Structure 1
Amino acid sequence: MAVPPKFAGHKLEFAPPTASSSSVPRATHTFELFLDYTCPFSAKIFNTLTTQVFPVVRETPAWANSLTVVFRQQVQPWHPSSTLTHEAGLAVLRLAPEKFWAFSGELFAAQKDFFDISVVNETRNQTYRRLAKVAAKVGVSEEEVYKLLAIPEKGGDDGALNVGNAVTNDLKVVTKMNRLVGVHVTPTVVFDGVVQDTSSGWTVDQWKEFFTKNIA
């Protein structure tokens, strides 16, 4: 599935495109990760892939030259703070797309701070403020992130009360895209458009076996 240009920070490529005189367009395999910031299993697979598996991909030219990874932000609405965490991801994506993956790593590391029990006694804007502080850890302006996330305390001039925030429309887009695929659980891996039977508990060797089998 395509990635709109404004969401380009969701993509992770391991090798720059090469010039070619061929009339056949260069293509890569697409490895899509549907992850939720409040899902422990999403955190586990993200950590394994980014710290152990992707370094192996970078060191393996046949894989690095043939693979594009896409982070798909999958809101799990039974955890109300899931929406808020993904909005924070979208705010970072807008302000500093090159920091999106680093921010995601920091947020997954701190995800327990945003579980149900951790947010139950604070306002929505208070949770946004804490999320903005996570963004600051990777060098993104806390105030700029919070500005995109904060909900006004007064209704609009037309009396509207469901005004959302500055990234609400972006959240609608990524949610619509994910619904087209029909993904439900997290984490889910989609490889070249096909849902895969993978596990968050896979070891590096199991992922190496997966890429060996699927990347010609």
Structure 2
Amino acid sequence: MSTNPTLHADPLVWGHGQNLFEVFLEPTCPFSVRAFNKLDALLAEVGEENMTLKIHLQSQPWHLYSGVIVRYILAASTLPAGKSAAKAVLQAVADHREEFEFAGHCAGPNMDATPNDIINRLEQYSGINAREPFAQPELQNAIKWHCKYSRQNGIHVSPTFMVNGLVQADIGSGDEISSWAKRIQG
């Protein structure tokens, strides 16, 4: 019998209404950041009783530290604060995106950064220490789940939006929150 309990990643879900709005985000993508920064206002406008918001992490290899950052966010979701801790890390990345991204996806100061530098920044900016779960091999199960769910739904880029299980290719991060709300409420 193992003395290490199995990690449980808290689902990144807010609200409990019948209308489902799913967002696939890569944390360092500027368009994903724009979408992420609208989600609280969207939930407030539509109402938690009227919609369920789910965030799925869409790691993308051209965002060179994407895998490290997604792993840290999901590691944070295994902490006692669960999805709130994960959201704090997402917000820290959104607020300090340049600290986690490369110029033109291939140049700039982050060329000299190590994965540990990125983890240090994530902890510093978010106040969330997720180092212990980050180092657990079984965390890859949560990462793989996000990846598989995206692929099963034909999601390849971020941000991508789904309403009630259907991909909405015409919804974009630049849309007004009221536009998203109308689509969700049908």
Q: How many Å separate the matches in 1 of 2:19 and 2:10?
A: 16
Matching residue of 1:30? 20
Q: What does residue range 104-119 of structure 1 map to in structure 2 within 5 Å?
A: 104-116=90-102, 117-119=108-110
Gaps of 5+ in 1: 1-5, 16-27, 59-63, 151-163
Matches within 5 A, 1:67-216: 67-95=51-79, 96-99=81-84, 100-116=86-102, 117-136=108-127, 140=128, 142=129, 145-149=130-134, 165=137, 167-196=139-168, 197-212=170-185, 214=186
CA distance change for structure 1 residues 45 and 79 in 2, over 3 Å: closer, same or farther? same
Which residue does the alignment assign to 1:57? 46
Question: Counterparts of 1:132 and 1:166 in 2: how far apart (Å)?
Answer: 21
Number of matched pairs: 172
- Per-residue Cα deviation, 1:127-146 (whole angstroms, up to 9, x for no partner): 2222222331xxx3x2xx12
Hey, what's the Cα distance between the residues in 1 that align with 2:109 and 2:11?
Answer: 29
* Offset at residue 177 of structure 1 (A): 1.9
Q: TM-score, normalised by structure 2?
A: 0.81
Superposition misfits of 4+ residues, deviation over 4 angstroms? none
- Secondary structure of residue in 2 paired with 1:42: helix
Alpha carbons 1:13, 1:68 under 8 Å: kept: yes
RMSD: 2.2
Same amino acid, percent of matched pairs: 27
Structure 2: tracts of 5 or more residues without a match: 1-7, 103-107
Return the structure number with greater helix share: 1
Whether the 8 Å contact between 2:19 and 2:50 is mirrored in structure 1 is yes
Q: Which has the larger radius of gyration?
A: 1
